[in-house]
Amino acid sequence: MAAADELAFHEFEEASNLLAETPDAATTSGSDQLTPQGHVAVAVDSGGSYGAEEEAEESDRTALLQEEKQQPGFWTFGYYQSFFDVDTSQVLDRIRGSLLPRPGHNFVRHHLRNQPDLYGPFWICATLAFVLAVTGNLTLVLAQRRDPSIHYSPQFHKVTVAGITIYCYVWLVPLALWGFLRWRKGVRERVGPYTFLETVCVYGYSLFVFIPTVVLWLIPVPWLQWLLGVLALSLSGASLVFTLWPVVREDTSLVAAVLLSTVVLLHALLAVGCKFYFFQPLPLEHLAPPLQATSLPPDVLLPLTPGAKTT
């Protein structure tokens, strides 16, 4: 205890002597000593903040990696939920892109941007099937008003026929096209197909133009109906051709021509088939049966007409 007291008193005495001899220097040295200590403290604090930021970035990376590892499987509902995660502006932009096709404008690259959705194609197909069935029944109602001999009865089976036809077309044709392009990629390495969902999305949005066309087919003017059908088929087919051309142009000219011609032909068959099935003004079952000659019994006498001779 005595040694500690002597040591403390010695330090105090040495400091007092220094302050007494040179007060200015002592004041300056004290400030100089405090200033570096302050800088050291700031440096330590700044280093601690940098370390905290790095730790935060590392924690963010770890969270992202954990999210990527925890992606749901394709058999779960969460896996398909991402394909319906679109807003109204995105859907409207993709509809406009399908209605206004132009050369050099790729629907997949400019509108889908590697984020295909099933929300738009699903509701476009459902709306088209419903509108086809309703307008097909309304066509018979209008035909009955013009010709009372036509008997109208609601045909609810047209909803089922329209739904099965359209959904099978939007899923099976893109599946066959995607499989063919995958096979051609193995033959020619420069041929790169779109993904299956991107192909389905292109076909789904390409059918939107037929919704207003089907409504306008209620106008009972045959040449106008065919004109509207050809216009809708041209816009929809052009959207498909301009989208598929960047994929097939690296293939041989024969394969590209046959593939694009098949795509347009199947599209035309869908449009023409819907026109003839849902919009026939007079169904075959309502046609009047032809008159048939009937034989009369021998004991039935026909009335004589004036001027007729009897034997």
- pLDDT of amino acid 113: 77
**3-state helix/strand/coil string of 183-224:** HHHHHCCCCCCCCHHHHHHHHHHHCCCHHHHHHHCCCCCHHH
Residue 200 placed within a domain: yes
Cβ atoms within 10 A of the Cβ of 96, count? 12
Q: Is the pLDDT of residue 6 over 60?
A: no
- pLDDT of amino acid 50: 45
**Highest averaged pLDDT of the listed ranges 70-79, 272-281, 297-306:** 272-281
Residue range 157-175: average pLDDT? 94
| Same-domain check for residues 60 and 117 | no
Residue 169 placed within a domain: yes
Split at pLDDT 50, 70, 90, the class of 23 is: low
Split at pLDDT 50, 70, 90, the class of 49 is: very low
- pLDDT of amino acid 83: 74
| Same-domain check for residues 90 and 137 | yes
| Same-domain check for residues 165 and 205 | yes
Residue 290 placed within a domain: no
| Same-domain check for residues 60 and 158 | no
- pLDDT of amino acid 291: 44
pLDDT per position as a tens digit, 128-137: 999 999 998 8
- pLDDT of amino acid 183: 85
Cβ atoms within 10 A of the Cβ of 86, count? 17
Share of the chain above pLDDT 90, in %: 33
Closest CA to 181 of 110, 105, 244: 244
CA distance 165 to 125: 10
Split at pLDDT 50, 70, 90, the class of 211 is: very high
Q: Give me the domain span that covers residue 149.
A: 86-282
Share of the chain above pLDDT 70, in %: 62
- pLDDT of amino acid 140: 81
* Amino acid symbol at 193: P
Query: Cβ(134)–Cβ(141) under 8 Å?
Result: no
Instruction: Pick 81 or 253 by higher pLDDT.
Output: 253
pLDDT per position as a tens digit, 252-301: 889 889 999 999 999 999 999 999 998 875 544 444 444 444 444 555 45
Mark which of 69, 96, 111 sits at the end of a domain.
69
| Same-domain check for residues 90 and 64 | no
Reduced to 3 states (helix: H, G, I; strand: E, B; else coil), residue 171 is: helix
Q: How many CA atoms lie within 13 A of 5 on its CB side?
A: 2
Residue 4 placed within a domain: no
Residue 90 placed within a domain: yes
- pLDDT of amino acid 235: 94
| Same-domain check for residues 95 and 210 | yes
Q: Which residues contact 14 (CB under 8 A, 6 or more apart)?
A: none
| Same-domain check for residues 90 and 57 | no
| Same-domain check for residues 240 and 118 | yes
Count of domains for the chain: 2
| Same-domain check for residues 95 and 212 | yes
Mark which of 69, 98, 115 sits at the end of a domain.
69
Of how many residues is the chain composed?
311
Residue 296 placed within a domain: no
Instruction: Pick 95 or 186 by higher pLDDT.
Output: 95
| Same-domain check for residues 226 and 166 | yes
| Same-domain check for residues 138 and 265 | yes
Residue range 228-251: average pLDDT? 91
Q: Where are the alpha helices (DSSP H) in the chain?
A: 2-21, 23-69, 77-81, 88-99, 107, 119-146, 157-187, 196-206, 210-216, 222-248, 253-278
Instruction: Pick 15 or 153 by higher pLDDT.
Output: 153
Residue 275 placed within a domain: yes
Phi/psi of residue 308, nearest 5 degrees:
-80, 145
Residue 254 placed within a domain: yes
**Highest averaged pLDDT of the listed ranges 71-80, 192-201, 236-245:** 236-245
Query: Cβ(202)–Cβ(161) under 8 Å?
Result: no
Residue range 106-126: average pLDDT? 87
Instruction: Pick 112 or 162 by higher pLDDT.
Output: 162
- pLDDT of amino acid 52: 52
| Same-domain check for residues 268 and 222 | yes
Positive or negative, the Cα torsion across 190, 196, 179, 232?
negative
- pLDDT of amino acid 137: 87
pLDDT per position as a tens digit, 134-159: 998 888 888 777 777 777 777 888 89
